[in-house]
Amino acid sequence: MREIPLPDAHATAALGRAIAALLRPGDAVLLEGDLGAGKTTLARALLRALCDDAEMEVPSPSYTLVQVYDAPVAEVAHFDLWRLDGPDGLHELGWDDACEGIVVVEWPERLGPLTPPGALRVHLLVDAAGGRTARLAGWDARIAQVENLLSGDASWA
């Protein structure tokens, strides 16, 4: 597991862009954390980077449960499972087809046995100073690349 300090929303967005740069079809990014931890901020930046559109509207899928985007690398499905009790309704939302592209999931604990193996888990924690800390797990070889993108290139910040 790696910890990355995120002092503000710009740093959270930079992490989203860095992760997006490494995504490929079949990948899953699981965003964990309490309400207000920054999951949607990270997801928006990730989706805008994947779609190469910094101004793209990225509504929260809290009520629709899933939003789908056509990105150059693959179709991307952004799921918000806050309102689901468990994995039963995921098949009706197109989960199986979505997993052929890239999936970004907020509230992934509701996936249960449908949790993709090899997913990148990003757990966002609010710190006492009002910033965030991201704990990244999974993607063994690619986690170092995320950190390199964040530390080695000022344009990510």
Which pLDDT score is estimated for 19?
Answer: 95
pTM: 0.89
Which pLDDT score is estimated for 64?
Answer: 62
Which pLDDT score is estimated for 76?
Answer: 96
Q: Which contiguous run of DSSP H or E holds residue 38?
A: none
List 29's β-bridge partners, or say none: 104, 120
Phi-psi region of 96 (alpha: psi -120 to 50; beta: other; left: phi over 0): alpha
Which pLDDT score is estimated for 150?
Answer: 83
Q: Write down all domains in the chain, each with its CATH number in brackets.
A: 1-87+114-132 (3.40.50.300)
Which pLDDT score is estimated for 86?
Answer: 66
Q: What is the mean pLDDT of each run of 10 residues along the chain (157 residues)?
A: 90 94 95 87 94 80 77 93 76 89 93 92 90 90 82 53
Length of the chain, in residues: 157
